[in-house]
Amino acid sequence: MKKRGSVLEWTGLFHVSPADIADIVGGFHSEMKRGLAGEPSSLKMLPSFVAKPRGSETGRYLALDLGGTNLRILAVELEGEGRFRIPAVDKVVVPGERMRGKGEDLFDFLAECILAFAGKGGEGNREDLRLAFTFSFPTEQTRVDAGRLLVWTKGFTATGVEGEDVVDLLTRSLRRKGAGFVRIVALVNDTVGTLAAKAYTDRTCDMGVILGTGTNACYVEETARITKRRGLGAGGEMIVNLEWGNFALLRRTPFDADLDRDSPNPGSQLLEKMVSGLYLGELARRVIRALMNEGLLFDGSSRDLFTTPYAFGTEHLSAIASDDFGVLARFGIGNLMENDRILLTEICRAIVRRSARIAGAAVAAVAAWMDPELKRNHTVGIDGTLFECYPGYPAHIRGALADALGPRADRVRLEPAKDGSGIGAAVIAAVVGAQ
Ligand code: BGC
């Protein structure tokens, strides 16, 4: 009995009630308003300098997509009428020393990868290659093809990049590596790419969301409401990158506070640290350690298990939440007592359920911001492994949408947009070409 009571006590820490959801929606609206007005806010509300595509855009582009440990390079051919082809694609792992070393080395590495791709015939015309650069970090843009990195997220710490124009840095590296024939025509956040890729084929798409290693969203805003920037043109629309990973008005547990304190960017990306794939396993590891210390798991034995930060990943969490305990072998755990299984499963599920419900509340907030009475249909293009792979994740988001919006939640459609960010960046480059 004691243990069963404890399960509820521990999982309850991660419960997101309908009242919490209402608070998140309210908090989003006040922070969005402040961010758009240029007042201090945990939501940066970054203008993208580009409107939603029409679906008629055409052209051939190279797309470079840097957002996490994987780098993707694609040749994209937009054929119009919402049709496109991807004649070639490369995926490269970004070595840890490039992510966390000198910025120049990171950008030289990107340039080398582009050159190698072009050399393999990934792209035809070497005289003038137009590159759409998906750079999935908070970037303050001044034009569609220029933008300063505000702060690294997701474990990147390469020096000399924060505060710099990343288009300039990549252009310099391209020249240094003898690839000056590549011209960067658009700088795009991955959420913006995801929205653009979905909107290219579906006119009702007005929101792009990433739920993967990191998390974030963008949406279509009226330029008149972006009061912090003058001269964006009256009566028009522009995609705005919320950088919602940094949203801070959330009820946190002591585990969240400790994880944040020990992270490379304390005090930043608080929502991301409760929601995204990079952190959920680590959060679970910390709870498991606490349960062990309380003598509630593994009978208080094996005290030296689960000691390595970030060794327990979201893939382990997914397995356990689906009752697959084999993954624990690498943590030195063989046979589990029934009570241990129940506690572990419930904790993992509670942590992921909380992630999805916070994400759902955030989606609801943005939809209600665009259309308070939800008179229209809104398609949300979503990419990222959490959404795609974690069992039951989309259903939890829908549950939160229903809590926030009631029956009108049906107006908000969640649509997978797998690997949309690279294709979408090419679409954005074409929108700009046509402007
Ligand atoms: C970044 C965002 C990005 C998101 C998803 C966050 O850490 O700050 O710019 O869109 O991750 O990749």
- For residue 414, give both structure tokens: 């969640």
Burial class (CB in 10 A: 0-12, 13-18, 19+), 90: middle
Residue located nearest, by CA, to atom 3 of ligand 1: 136
Provide the CB-side half-sphere exposure for 299 (13 A, CA). 5
Judge whether residue 172 has pLDDT over 70: yes
Q: Which pLDDT score is estimated for 119?
A: 77
The closest residue, in CA terms, to atom 2 on ligand 1 is 137
List, in sequence order, the alpha helices (H) in 120-157: none
- For 21, the 3-state DSSP assignment is helix
- What residues are paired with 216 via a beta bridge? 210
Question: Cα separation of 435 and 8, whole Å?
Answer: 56
Distance 272 CA to ligand 1 centre (A): 9
In 117-191, beta strands by DSSP E = 129-135, 139-143, 146-149, 182-188
Residues pairing with 240 in the sheet:
47, 219
Q: Is the CB of 139 under 6 A from ligand 1?
A: no
Q: Is 174 helix (H, G, I), strand (E, B) or coil?
A: helix
What does the alpha-carbon distance between residue 120 and residue 273 come to, in Å, rounded to a whole number? 39
Give the Å distance between the CA of 87 and the centre of ligand 1.
Answer: 27
The residue whose CB lies within 8 Å of the most ligand 1 atoms, and thus the one to mutate among 210, 211, 269, 278, is: 210
Distance of CA 289 to the CA centre of its chain: 28
Which of 190, 211, 272 to probe ligand 1 with, by most ligand atoms within 8 A of CB?
A: 190
The C-alpha atoms of residue 187 and residue 410 are separated, in whole angstroms, by: 33
Which amino acid residue places its CA nearest to atom 6 of ligand 1?
214
Indicate if ligand 1 lies below 6 Å from the C-beta of 137.
yes
Q: What pLDDT band is residue 255 in, cutting at 50, 70 and 90?
A: very high
**DSSP H/E element including 79:** strand 70-80
Report the alpha-carbon distance of residue 340 to residue 336 in Å, rounded: 6
Is the CB of 285 within 6 Å of ligand 1? no
Expressed in angstroms and rounded, the spacing between residue 244 Cα and the centre of ligand 1 is: 8
Give 207 Cα–ligand 1 centroid separation in angstroms: 15
Q: Is the CB of 277 under 6 A from ligand 1?
A: no
Ligand 1 binding pocket includes 216 (Cβ within 6 Å)? yes
* Span from the CA of 243 to the centroid of ligand 1 (angstroms): 7
Is residue 380 within 8 Å of residue 363, measured between CB atoms?
A: yes
Ligand 1 site, residue 154, Cβ cutoff 6 A: yes
Q: Which of 243, 246, 382, 388 to mutate to test the pocket of ligand 1 (most atoms within 8 A of CB)?
A: 243
> According to the model, what pLDDT value does residue 301 have?
63
- pLDDT, one tens digit per residue, over 357-415 is 999 999 999 999 999 999 999 999 999 999 999 989 999 999 999 999 999 999 999 99
Residue 272 in contact with ligand 1 by CB distance below 6 A: yes
pLDDT at residue 127, as a whole number: 63
Distance CA 44, CA 27 (A): 14
Contacts of residue 435, defined as CB under 8 A and 6 or more positions apart, other chains included, come to: none
**Residue 304 CA, distance from chain mean position:** 33
pLDDT in tens, 30-74: 999 999 999 999 999 999 999 999 999 999 999 999 988 889 999
Q: How many residues does the chain have?
A: 435
Task: Give Cβ neighbours of residue 13 (< 8 Å, ≥ 6 apart).
Answer: 253, 255, 350
CA–CA separation, 252 and 270 (whole Å): 9
* The pLDDT value given to residue 170: 98
- Per-residue confidence (pLDDT) for residue 11, from 0 to 100: 93
Q: Dihedrals φ, ψ of 268, to 5°?
A: -110, 160
Which ligand 1 atom is the nearest neighbour of the CA of 210?
A: 5
pLDDT over 80 (residue 151): yes
Q: What is the rounded CA–CA span in Å between residue 255 and residue 347?
A: 13
Q: Which residues are part of the catalytic machinery?
A: 154, 190
Question: For ligand 1, what atom is nearest to the CA of residue 137?
Answer: 9
Q: Both tokens of residue 409?
A: 């939640």
Kind of pairing between the strands at 412-416 and 58-66: unpaired
Over 90: is that where the pLDDT of 6 sits? no
What is the reported pTM? 0.95
Distance 333 CA to ligand 1 centre (A): 34
Tokens linked to 370:
């665009």
pLDDT score for 2:
44
Q: CA 408 to CA 401: how far, in whole Å? A: 9
- Within 212-293, strands assigned E span 215-222, 237-241
Q: Compute the distance from residue 323 Cα to the ligand 1 centre, in Å.
A: 30
Nearest partner of 291 among 16, 6, 14, judged by Cα: 6
pLDDT in the model for residue 230: 83
Task: Give 273-298 pLDDT, tens digit per residue.
Answer: 999 999 999 999 999 999 988 888 88
Residue the block writes with tokens 């908000």:
412
| Residue 3: pLDDT over 60 | no
Tokens for 407, please give them. Answer: 């029956």
Q: pLDDT value at position 435?
A: 58
Quick one: pLDDT at residue 1?
A: 37
